[in-house]
Amino acid sequence: MTEPIRVLLVDDQALIRVGFRMVLEAESDIEIVGEAGDGAVAVRQAAALTPDVVLMDVRMPGTDGIAATEAIVREHPGIRVLVLTTFDLDEYAFGAIRAGASGFLLKDAQRQELVAAVRAVARGDAVLAPRATRAFLDQLSAQPAPAASGPDPTTELTEREREVFLAIAQGLTNSEIAERLFLSESTVKTHVGRVLAKLDARDRIQAVIIAHRIGLV
């Protein structure tokens, strides 16, 4: 039997945590291992409990979700963070993405959206709507690309994988990449997996950030 996805809930509002707990604990493959009411406690809980996924409120008094996300991802690379936000295209949420979160979800998301998002980040996918991805790209594009340092991480990519990487960097979904490159979605999914592995990228969002760092977007 597959081990359940271990989730840590982080929100400064207890009622919000209760609601998410009720939704997630109803799923046989998800287990709530702990809760935290602020970012500092979340960092300590992540170290003590080693959850698979942290459901992280982005705006909290004291240590906010951005700082907590950065600390957790830095100290525990295997833990995925899914940020919760009240507003779509929230600058705080994008800050958490830059800090290492694997995506963000609106607090008023439907039950199945929440469950699907937790499962997605647990298996290594990113959760970011195409509109939000493109807004994030716009934010990155407004910033000067940092000076390149170290070896080019794309040297091991095949020509086809470089095409897929460029498409990912432009915020295209798998279906859009398939249409552009005249491939099946299953083939695109395989290429995306290989690209992420060769770049040592945690997910698509990190791949976008890498593309910005090397001046590809």
Domain ranges of the chain: 5-127, 139-213
Q: Domain 139-213 has what CATH class?
A: mainly alpha
The per-residue pLDDT for range 117-157, each reduced to its tens digit, is: 999 889 887 787 656 666 776 777 666 655 555 667 888 89
203: left (phi over 0), alpha (psi -120 to 50) or beta: beta
* Nearest-10 crossing angle of helices 204-213, 185-199: 60
Q: Is the pLDDT of residue 192 over 60?
A: yes
Asked if the domains 5-127 and 139-213 are classified in one and the same CATH topology, the answer is no
Q: Find residue 127's DSSP bridge partners.
A: 103
pLDDT of residue 142: 66
For the chain, give the mean pLDDT: 86
Q: Taken in order 65, 33, 105, 213, is the CA torsion positive or negative?
A: positive
Q: Domain 5-127 has what CATH class?
A: alpha beta
Token couple for 149: 């340092």
Residue type, 75: E
pTM: 0.76
Token couple for 145: 């690309």
